[in-house]
């Protein structure tokens, strides 16, 4: 039984169900990725017909969005699968699921800090190139005849 929106058709209850292509359009997650995630067991709740075609309810589409969010937060597939297993067990697993999300937040925070350092290095490097273009001297390229060596602060920054 699908758990999507219910509506009546000829006085009978029906459900909205989406194919993988429709889910791709609704979420922006490619059908290739959705099939890959399905093979990895991330959609244990998705209904299939006799031909094994997957049909996603509105709730399933919401899970696709959550899984996509977890992947963007660098959560690996086995961890997502475990999270889904916990969620299916109900409220008694809320504390453990919260801890999982808190750990993932730490990972994202560390990544942001690392990327901030990378951004600062790129900005520094752009400054070097701006100076090089302004002076028309390629003094920062070891392959150039005009190379003057890296300044002290350049070595310090590992640029």
Per-residue confidence (pLDDT) for residue 158, from 0 to 100: 58
Convert the pLDDT of each residue in 90-102 to its tens digit: 999 999 999 999 9
Per-residue confidence (pLDDT) for residue 129, from 0 to 100: 85
Any domain includes 102: no
Any domain includes 101: no
Per-residue confidence (pLDDT) for residue 121, from 0 to 100: 92
Within this chain, do residues 55 and 128 fall inside the same structural domain, yes or no? no
Q: Percent of the chain, pLDDT > 90?
A: 59
Any domain includes 125: yes
Convert the pLDDT of each residue in 34-74 to its tens digit: 999 999 999 998 888 888 888 999 999 999 999 999 999 99
Any domain includes 32: yes
Kind of pairing, strands 47-48 and 12-15? unpaired
Q: Which of 102, 95, 29, 98 is nearest to 60 (CA)?
A: 29
The domain spanning residue 7 has which CATH number?
A: 1.10.1660.10
Within this chain, do residues 20 and 70 fall inside the same structural domain, yes or no? yes
Mean pLDDT of 11-25: 81
Q: What is the 3-state secondary structure (H, E, C) of the chain?
A: CCCCCEEEECCEEEECCECHHHHHHHHCCCHHHHHHHHHCCCCCCCEECCCCCEEECHHHHHHHHHHHHHHHCCCCHHHHHHHHHHHHHCHHHHHHHHHHHHHHHHHHHHHHHHHHHHHHHHHHHHHHHHHHHHHCCCCCCCCCCCCCCCCHHHHHCCC
Per-residue confidence (pLDDT) for residue 53, from 0 to 100: 86
Q: Is the pLDDT of residue 131 over 80?
A: yes
Average pLDDT, the chain: 85
Query: Which range of residues forms the domain containing residue 3?
Result: 1-89
């Amino acid at each position: 039984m699908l758990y999507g929106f219910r509506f009546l058709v000829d006085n009978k209850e029906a459900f909205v169900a989406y194919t993988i292509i429709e889910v791709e359009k609704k979420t922006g997650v490619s059908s290739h990725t959705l099939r890959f995630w399905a093979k990895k067991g991330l959609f244990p709740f998705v209904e299939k017909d006799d031909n094994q075609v997957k049909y996603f309810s509105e709730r399933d589409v919401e899970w696709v969005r959550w899984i996509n969010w977890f992947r963007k937060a660098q959560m690996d597939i086995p961890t997502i699968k475990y999270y889904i297993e916990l969620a299916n067990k109900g409220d008694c697993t809320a504390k453990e699921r919260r801890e999982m999300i808190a750990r993932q937040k730490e990972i994202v925070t560390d990544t942001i800090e690392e990327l901030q350092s990378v951004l600062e290095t790129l900005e520094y490097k752009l400054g070097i190139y701006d100076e090089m273009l302004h002076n028309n001297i390629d003094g920062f390229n070891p392959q150039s005849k005009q190379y003057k060596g890296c300044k002290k602060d350049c070595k310090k920054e590992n640029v």
